[in-house]
Structure 1
Amino acid sequence: MKKDFGIIPSSKTLVRCIFCGVHLPKANRCIEQHTNGAKHKENLMLMRENAIYLLNEDLYCKPCNRIVNDNFSVPGHVETESHSNWKVAIEDLTEGEFIKLEPYLSSERDDVHCEVCNLDIDSNLHIIEKHVNSTKHRNNVVERLKPLNGLFPVENDDEVFCKICNMYIDNTTRAVLEHIDDDEEHVAWLTEIEDLIEGHDVSIEHYLANDFEVNAYCKKCKMDIICDVENIESHVHSEDHLNKFI
């Protein structure tokens, strides 16, 4: 019996797939056909995305801290109000916070990991919320975001310089985050550049992380490009560049 695949005995002639919530003939051929099918594989993926795993002969959901009712398949459970609310809440809490959820969601770990604080955190929503709102975490997020947004220290520690906007801003957590998230010029430049380079193997990471760098780099053409909208647009639409993708 393929217990690891969610197949458990149901009667003398039937087995049940607890992942999919269906009964099958006990014949090996029928079981193989089901476990190799697209729907079964989709449900395995859903389990790995929702911290659901096989516990003895039951489905257990870690976030809901409960055995999944026999009347529910994996999709049925993740669509319940309680689980859906948890999924929305944890995604809202961790978006942009450098919190690594994947090992928890795949049931490899019971905690989540904050990359900027290098800290394992209990997966409880209230504890995660407390962590992401802490002063230490906010400061660490800002320091991680600065080289991703062209922000650099200056002699006056009270300010940082934004090379994208060619302006100085207060070197406080609130001011830096407001600039990154809400400054129209900053957001518009990054959005336009990222839209241009998407799928073109062009990197602006070195430009953003180094104060005196003026170039983006095309990995496909192995060449530098002046890092502005006009030059990047001209390059990614050029015949030489596009021919590299043929």
Structure 2
Amino acid sequence: MKTGLLYGVVACSKTRVRCVFCGVYIPKASKCIEQHTNGAKHKEHIELMNLNGIYFNNDVLHCKACNRNLPEDESVLKHIEGDDHANWIAAIDDLVDGEFITLDAFLSCEKDEVFCEVCNSSFYCSLQSIEEHVNHINHRTNITTRLKPLNGIFPVDNEDEVWCKVCDAYIDNTVQSVLGHIDDDEQHMEWFTEIEDLIENQEVSIESYLANEHENYAYCNKCQMEVTCNARSIESHVHSEAHLNQFGL
């Protein structure tokens, strides 16, 4: 993060300068400028720029998300709270939710592209390009491959089906069926909701159980012991005196 004394401060008149980020005027005295640029509000605006695709160039703020320069009377905070920017952020967040697409490099203004982890590819960041990417069959296939070991889903001898360990159910081995099971099957979702509620902040891991077909146990990192991976056993463990003592309770 740039925090130089004059970063974001531009000449305005013989007696004042203007902080472009904060949208305020400051007396043209080194002490006043230093006090402002070292202040929490100024640093917060710089942080917000790095999270919202806004950069400072040639004494002007430019928002990559909205693809426009900000007028002089529009501070960083005022802009990101405006409808246009807020709607873009909401739309992009909705598109990338659960899609393993990272926006960090774009929003920090390091790149014009976003990166898809499951496809191992970068592409130009726009609502249209992201929508096209996440709906492409190659991406849906890669998402399915990534999600199977996170959801206890394994291949079987019959290549037309896969087996869900969590539900003890067979599913058609198609992108639509597997993703539909993960996202919409009531039994599958209830199992995860119940287990995740039990292990939250308890340092109990179920990753190995989900990723390995023949694994029957969750693992408590706090107690360094295996626990049968079902709701009843995990609930009994996290409420046990031995486990609670590990947290000093």
* Structure-1-length-normalised TM-score: 0.95
**CA deviation map 1:155-188 (0-9, x unaligned):** 1111110010011011111111111011111101
Instruction: Single out whichever of 49-58 and 30-39 deviates more from structure 2.
Output: 30-39
Distance 1:60 1:156 in 2: 55
Structure 1 gap ranges (5+): none
Task: Determine helix, strand or coil for the equivalent of 1:40.
Answer: helix
Show the 5 A alignment for 1:106-125. Answer: 106-125=108-127
Distance 2:41 2:56 in 1: 17
Q: CA deviation at 1:68?
A: 0.8
Q: Which amino acid aligns with 1:191?
A: T
Match of residue 55 from structure 2: 53
Of 229, 233, 243 in structure 2, the residue corresponding to residue 241 of structure 1 is: 243
Q: CA deviation at 1:12?
A: 2.4
Match of residue 3 from structure 1: 6
**CA deviation map 1:63-107 (0-9, x unaligned):** 111111111001111122221221111111111111111111111
Task: Determine helix, strand or coil for the equivalent of 1:113.
Answer: strand
Distance 2:227 2:33 in 1: 56
Identity %: 58
Q: Which amino acid aligns with 2:20?
A: I
Q: CA deviation at 1:19?
A: 1.0
Q: Which amino acid aligns with 2:227?
A: I
Task: Determine helix, strand or coil for the equivalent of 1:59.
Answer: strand
Distance 1:76 1:150 in 2: 46
Show the 5 A alignment for 1:1-246. Answer: 2-4=5-7, 6-246=8-248
**CA deviation map 1:189-227 (0-9, x unaligned):** 101111111111111111110001111111111111111
Q: CA deviation at 1:26?
A: 2.7
Question: Is the Cα–Cα contact under 8 Å of residues 52 and 80 in structure 2 kept in the other structure?
Answer: yes
Question: Is the Cα–Cα contact under 8 Å of residues 201 and 219 in structure 1 kept in the other structure?
Answer: yes
**CA deviation map 1:130-153 (0-9, x unaligned):** 111100000000110000100000
Task: Determine helix, strand or coil for the equivalent of 1:144.
Answer: helix
Question: Is the Cα–Cα contact under 8 Å of residues 99 and 114 in structure 1 kept in the other structure?
Answer: yes
* Structure-2-length-normalised TM-score: 0.94
Question: Is the Cα–Cα contact under 8 Å of residues 10 and 19 in structure 2 kept in the other structure?
Answer: yes
**Which stretches of structure 1, 4 residues or longer, exceed 3 Å deviation after superposition?**
none
Structure 2 gap ranges (5+): none
Q: Which amino acid aligns with 2:59?
A: E
